[in-house]
Structures are given as structure tokens and as C-alpha cells.
Amino acid sequence: MSITVALTLTSFAAALVIGTVVAAFRVSPVAPLRAAGAAWVEVLRNIPLSVLMLGFYFGFTKIDIRYGEFATAVIVLSAYTSSFVAETVRAGINSVARGQAEAARSIGLTFPQSLRVVVLPQAMRTVVAPLGSVFIALIKNSSLAGLIAVVELTDMADRISFDTARPIPAFLGAAVGYLLLALPSGAVVGLLERRAAIKR
Amino acid sequence: MRRTRWFVWLVVVVAMVGAACGEADDPTTATGGDDNEAGSTTAAPTFDAGTTMARIQQKGEITVGVKYDQPGFGQQDPATGEVEGFDVEIAKLIAVAILGGDVDSVEDKIEFVESVSKNREPFIQDGRVDIVVATYTINDTRKQVIDFAGPYFVAKQDIMVRKDDTSIKAVDDLNGKKVCTAKGSTSEKNIRAKAPRADVLLFDGYDECKEALVDERVVAVSTDNTILAGYVDRSPDELKLVDNPFSDEPYGIGLKKGDEAFRDFLNDRLEEIFEGGQWGDAFESTLGQLGLETPDTPTLDRYGAAGGATTSTTGTGGTGGAGGSGSTSTTGASSTSSSTG
């Protein structure tokens, strides 16, 4: 379970950073940056995670890029999740009234400054809940790290199932494990949401 | 609105066509001769009412769990959808004894179901399959939930390394090194027991292990020699077998726990094909093609009655004269972790 937690937290932290940058690319006035952002999102979110996982692990070795099993899992999970974070954050940015960005530019802020100081902070308020869903999806997606021999929760259940020849209790155990991780996460998201909400 | 309705119909049609195609691809409905030597045709015998044999006879079909990805034992031909291998041949020989006919025609009366290591026990317990013939190592943990007839084959665990490797000569040499094997196999347990300081990497299958070996992520792959032989056979320039086996893996036929009559029947039938030569023929036409020599027939393990995982009576119940007087005792391997049920 600790491996699942480590995988999820590390990957989410990385995905938040990458995803926000990609979202900024996608709304940027520079066309090549917009294209790069769109390409990143469309490639990563449209390929099954299992294919990315095995493809990165086995495929990239052929061109001499190799990382350990855990590192590979973190890289792939971060990249994959970042595409969903990017789309979520972009939706948040678009929800901020246009006048805000215009006002920011008119007082002399550059585009990156206006994004950082004015638009993103407001956007983040609205995306807390959807990002929570992305986080919970990530907890479950981390189970695919077992494909490349990372002993996370599902993989552990696999092993116990084999050792005892009783798969059903083993996988029920894994299900409970995921609930124990996801339910409190949901609660935390709810809390953050309330704190971020605009008082009306 | 109109457009949505159109779309819904389109989805329905596509789904139906898809389902029809899926059915056509189903390996059990696919027919087609293979080059098996025609066995003699036998009439279906009569069985006592209430036995599993009678039930199978009545439904006219036997459901068998086999592997679909194990070269030499049970492997699906992607072109025809048919499964081929030693396990498949054994299943046919069993089916003939219940349903009659010969090994070629009986294929139509066998429903093969893909069994991976993980689902073998549930498949048997739920009655999803009548028997499992899927490189299924007999051990005490498993005997607590299902029963085994056989063994019909004794594999030996060995090590596969890259062709240029000279550092690994025995299982001890794996200590402190990265070794790969598949999840849900007894191979993992054996490595941990014989080389406790080895770093064992577990993948879903041996294809990934082979890839990891070629990529130099691991120094060795360890599992049954029969499985490894398939890989070495296909890439003799890259891989080699260490050829220093360190454990016996007796493969059994899995069946529902406590079905003594069925187990006796299966054991009797195995004895018959050991002595009658069909076992040897099945070996030559499958595993023999991978360059393996036909071994002596194994000694049956007619272990004690249901209710425990005791292995005390191992082998002794077998009527003597099983051809070849099995070179390997299966007692050792199956009682390594003796536990009581």
C-alpha cells in the first residue's frame, strides 16, 4: 500500500506542475506553443495507460533510454495524468471572465504574468473538484504499475492470491485498500473545495 | 433528435456485427484438421449415473481450461484460433475416453477455455471448466482447494541467460542478481527458496521476461525448462539454457475437490495412455518439435482421499507397471511445504 501511496503522490505532484504548464501553453498567444500543448495532451490521453507503461518500459530501452521500474512507473503516470490535469486547468482558465485577463494586460502585465498573478489563481478555485477526480483516477491507475513489476497494491493481491490459491479474498483486500485511500482523498478534496469557494 | 436516433441505431448495428464477428472468431467453433496421427476410434463407454464422467457424456461436451500462450503446451494459433500443444493433446486423449471417437474428431466436443495462472482455481471451483490442463504444478496449497490427477508430466526448473553470459552456472549464482519470472508461478517460490538474495522481478508472462533479459534489465529468467526451451528454440543466437535444473515441477490435471471417482478415472486413463504409447506420441508431436527429448513417463501420484493436503500416500496407490517406471519421484516436490488441511 505504501508503494501505491508513493506512486500516486509523486506522480500527482509532477502531473500538477506539468499539466499547468501545458494548460498555459494551450491558451498562449504563441501558435507553436499551443500546438505543442495540444499534441502533448492528445497523444497521452488517447493511448491506453497499459500500452504507455509497457511501451515506455520496453520500447525506450531499444533507444537506450532506461529507468528503473518505479521511476518508469512515476514518469508514465505523471505524463499520462498531466494530460488530464492540463485539460482540467484549461477549462478553469476559460471559466475566468475575459475582462480579468484584459484588465491584467492593460495595466502592463505580460501574458505569463497576467496568467500567473490574475487568471490562474482564480482558475484554480473552480478546478479543485475536477482535479480531485483526476487524483482518485490516478490512485486506481497506479495499479497498472504492476505490469512492469512494481509491487503495488494490486500486484500484492496477485501474489497473495497465488500463495494461498484463494484469489477472491486477496482481491477483496485490494478493493478495501483502494477504498481506504480514495475515500479520505475525496473528503480532503471536499474540504479544499469549501475553502477555495467564493463566499456568496 | 432525428440525428441522435440515427446514431443510436448505428451503434446498435455496429455492436451486433461486432458480436457476430466475435462468435466467428471463437476458437471452439473453429474447426480444421491438424496433422495428428489418427488414433483408433473408440465407442463411448458407459458410466455410473451421477458421476462427473456421466454428466460430461450427457452434455456431450467437455470443458477444458488450457493456456493460450504457452509454446509447446497450450498456444493459440492467431490465424486459425485453434489451440495446440501437449496439454491440448492430453485433453483430447481424456475426452476420447469419455465421449468416444478418436483424437481428431473429439476436438469438436471439447470447449477450450483460456486459463491463466490466476484463474485456474476459481474456474474449477465454480464449475466453469470440467478439468484444467494448463502447466499446473501440483502443490499442497492448491490441493487444499482443488484436486489433482497425474502428474502427466514432470518439468524441471532451469535458468535461461543471454548467450554471452558465463557467470551463471547454477541457481546459487542468482544471489544478488536480478532474475525474472512470471506472476502466479511456482518458479518464484523456488527461486526465493534456493537463492534467497536474488532480486526477483515479476511480470505477467514470460514474453516480458524474455524481453527484459534481452534488454539487459535482468541477468536471468528462471522457470520450467520446457517453457524456456521454446524461447531458446526461437532465438538461439541470443539466449541459452544453463541446463542445471534445481527442482521438479509435476504438472497435474486440476479437478473439483473431493471428486474421487473422477480423479480415479483420470488417473486410470493417464496410466492407459502412458502404457499405450499415446502419451509419447503426444509429446513428440508437440514438445518434441521444440527439440526436447521424450522423457520417461511420470509416476502417478494417487494421493490420499479428500479432506487434507497429506502427501503421505504419494505414489504408493498407483498400480505398478506404469510404463517407464518414472524416473523422477514426485513426492519430494509436492511435499516441500507440507501443511495439513
Distance from CA of B78 to the nearest CA of A (A): 20
pLDDT score for B40: 60
pLDDT score for B12: 57
Q: Considering only CB atoms, which chain B residues are within 8 Å of A148?
A: 203
pLDDT score for A56: 92
- A–B CB contacts, 8 A cutoff, strictly below: 49
* Residue B104 counted as domain residue: yes
Asked if B288 and B323 sit in the same domain, the reply is yes
Prediction pTM value: 0.70
pLDDT score for B14: 58
Per-residue pLDDT of chain B (341 residues; tens, 9 = 90+): 455 566 556 555 556 555 555 444 444 444 444 444 444 667 778 888 889 999 999 999 999 999 998 888 999 988 898 999 999 999 999 999 999 888 888 888 999 999 987 788 889 999 999 999 999 999 888 999 999 998 999 999 999 999 999 999 999 999 999 999 988 778 888 999 999 999 999 998 888 999 999 999 999 999 998 889 888 988 899 999 998 999 998 999 999 999 999 999 999 999 999 999 999 999 999 988 887 888 889 999 988 754 444 444 333 333 333 333 333 333 333 333 333 33
Determine the residue of chain A that is closest to B218 in CA distance: A68
Looking at B247, B267, B299, the residue that finishes a domain is: B247
Taking the Cβ of residue A160 and every Cβ of chain B, the question of whether any pair is shorter than 8 Å is answered with no
Contacting residues for A100 by C-beta, under 8 A, at least 6 apart: A118, A119, A122
Asked if B56 and B148 sit in the same domain, the reply is yes
Asked if B56 and B142 sit in the same domain, the reply is yes
Q: Considering only CB atoms, which chain B residues are within 8 Å of A62?
A: 215
Give the count of alpha carbons within 13 A of B11, CB side only: 6
Band (A90; pLDDT cuts 50, 70, 90):
very high
Band (A199; pLDDT cuts 50, 70, 90):
low
pLDDT score for A94: 92
Taking the Cβ of residue B203 and every Cβ of chain A, the question of whether any pair is shorter than 8 Å is answered with yes
In order of B103, B327, B332, the CA distances from B184 in angstroms are 31, 27, 21
Looking at B247, B267, B295, the residue that finishes a domain is: B247
Cβ-contact B314, B335 below 8 angstroms: yes
B119, B185, B203: residue with CB nearest A149: B203
Q: What is the ipTM of this complex?
A: 0.78
Residue in the block written with cell 509447446:
B72
**Could you tell me which residues are beta bridge partners of residue B254?**
B132, B148
Give the residue with greater pLDDT, B42 vs A82.
A82
Q: Which domain holds residue B231?
A: 155-247
Q: What is the CA radius of gyration of chain A?
A: 19
Asked if B120 and B165 sit in the same domain, the reply is no
Q: Which three cell numbers, joined as nine digits, stand for B97?
A: 475416453
Q: Chain A window 79-138: which residues touch B at a Cβ cutoff of 8 Å?
A: none
Are A162 and B117 an interchain contact pair (Cβ–Cβ within 8 Å)?
yes
Residue in the block written with cell 524481453:
B211
Are A149 and B211 an interchain contact pair (Cβ–Cβ within 8 Å)?
no
Residue to test with chain B: of A154, A155, A162, most B Cβ within 10 A? A162
In order of A60, A69, A72, A167, the CA distances from A66 in angstroms are 7, 9, 8, 33
Band (A133; pLDDT cuts 50, 70, 90):
very high
Distance CA B72, CA B87 (A): 8
pLDDT score for B24: 45
Give the distance, in angstroms, between the CA of residue B159 and the centroid of all CA atoms in the same chain: 20
Asked if B79 and B104 sit in the same domain, the reply is yes
Q: Considering only CB atoms, which chain B residues are within 8 Å of A170?
A: none
Report the domain count for chain B.
Answer: 2
Give the count of alpha carbons within 13 A of B175, CB side only: 8
Q: Considering only CB atoms, which chain A residues are within 8 Å of B215?
A: 58, 61-62, 66
Asked if B195 and B274 sit in the same domain, the reply is no
Asked if B216 and B275 sit in the same domain, the reply is no
Asked if B232 and B114 sit in the same domain, the reply is no
In order of A84, B97, B236, the CA distances from A187 in angstroms are 21, 61, 57
Asked if B149 and B160 sit in the same domain, the reply is no
Asked if B144 and B270 sit in the same domain, the reply is yes
Domain A2-196 listed as CATH 1.10.10.10: no
Q: Considering only CB atoms, which chain B residues are within 8 Å of A143?
A: none
Examine the pLDDT at A164 and tell me if it is beyond 90: no
pLDDT score for B227: 85
Distance from CA of A44 to the nearest CA of B (A): 23
* CA geometry: angle B308, B254, B192, nearest 5 deg: 75
Are A61 and B217 an interchain contact pair (Cβ–Cβ within 8 Å)?
yes
Looking at B229, B247, B265, the residue that finishes a domain is: B247
Distance from CA of B229 to the nearest CA of A (A): 23
Are B201 and A159 an interchain contact pair (Cβ–Cβ within 8 Å)?
no
* Residue B187 counted as domain residue: yes
B122, B204, B215: residue with CB nearest A61: B215
Distance CA A49, CA A54 (A): 9
Residue in the block written with cell 514426485:
B330
Asked if B98 and B240 sit in the same domain, the reply is no
B145, B204, B215: residue with CB nearest A147: B204
Which of helix, strand or coil describes residue B38? Answer: coil
Helix and strand tally (H, E) in chain B? 11, 12
Taking the Cβ of residue A55 and every Cβ of chain B, the question of whether any pair is shorter than 8 Å is answered with no
Asked if B253 and B314 sit in the same domain, the reply is yes
Are B141 and A155 an interchain contact pair (Cβ–Cβ within 8 Å)?
no
pLDDT score for B295: 87
